Amino acid sequence: MVWLLAIRPATLTAGIAPVVLGTAIAAAMGQFALWPAVGAMAAAILVQIGTNLANDYYDFKKGADNDDRIGPARATQKGWLAPEEVARGTAVVLVMAALVGAALAVHGGWPVVAIAIVSLIAAVAYTAGPFPLAYVGLGDVFVLVFFGPVAVSGTIYVQTLTWPIEGLVAGAALGCLATAILVVNNLRDRHTDAAAGKRTLAVRFGATAARWEYTVLVLSAFALVAGWNVVGGGWGWLVPLVALPLGLMQIRTIWTTDGAALNPHLGSTARLTLIFAALTSGGMLVGMTP
- pLDDT of residue 69 exceeding 70: no
Query: Contacts from 108-117 at CB under 8 Å and sequence distance 24+?
Result: 108/36, 108/157, 108/158, 108/161, 111/157, 112/154, 112/157, 112/158, 115/150, 115/154, 116/43
How many beta carbons lie within 10 A of that of residue 95, not counting itself? 13
Upper half-sphere CA count for residue 117 (Cβ side, 13 Å)? 7
- Per-residue confidence at 64, pLDDT binned at 50, 70, 90? low
Q: For residue 65, what pLDDT is reported?
A: 66
pLDDT digits (tens, 9 = 90+) for 154-170: 999 999 999 999 999 99
- Per-residue confidence at 131, pLDDT binned at 50, 70, 90? confident
**Greater confidence, 62 or 123?**
123
Q: Which residues of 155-172 are buried (b: 16+ CB within 10 A; e: fewer)?
A: bbbbbbeeebebbbbbbb
- pLDDT of residue 151 exceeding 80: yes
- pLDDT of residue 212 exceeding 80: yes
Rounded to whole angstroms, the maximal C-alpha distance in the chain is: 54
- pLDDT of residue 135 exceeding 60: yes
- Could you tell me the domains of the chain? 2-287 (1.10.600)
The average pLDDT across 245-264 equals: 94
> Which of 146-150, 154-158, 194-198 shows the lowest per-residue confidence on average (mean pLDDT)?
194-198
The average pLDDT across 18-25 equals: 96
Q: For residue 163, what pLDDT is reported?
A: 95
What pTM was estimated for this model as a whole? 0.92
**Planar angle of CA 263, 57, 202, nearest 5 degrees:** 45
Q: For residue 187, what pLDDT is reported?
A: 96
- Per-residue confidence at 192, pLDDT binned at 50, 70, 90? confident
CA separation for the pair 238, 65 (Å, rounded): 41
Give residue 289's region: left, alpha or beta (phi > 0; psi -120 to 50): beta
How many beta carbons lie within 10 A of that of residue 148, not counting itself? 27
pLDDT digits (tens, 9 = 90+) for 229-251: 888 778 889 999 999 999 999 99
- Per-residue confidence at 24, pLDDT binned at 50, 70, 90? very high
- pLDDT of residue 62 exceeding 80: no
- pLDDT of residue 126 exceeding 80: yes
Asked if residues 289 and 165 have their Cβ atoms less than 8 Å apart, the reply is no
Q: For residue 130, what pLDDT is reported?
A: 78
Asked if residues 193 and 186 have their Cβ atoms less than 8 Å apart, the reply is yes
CA separation for the pair 265, 253 (Å, rounded): 8
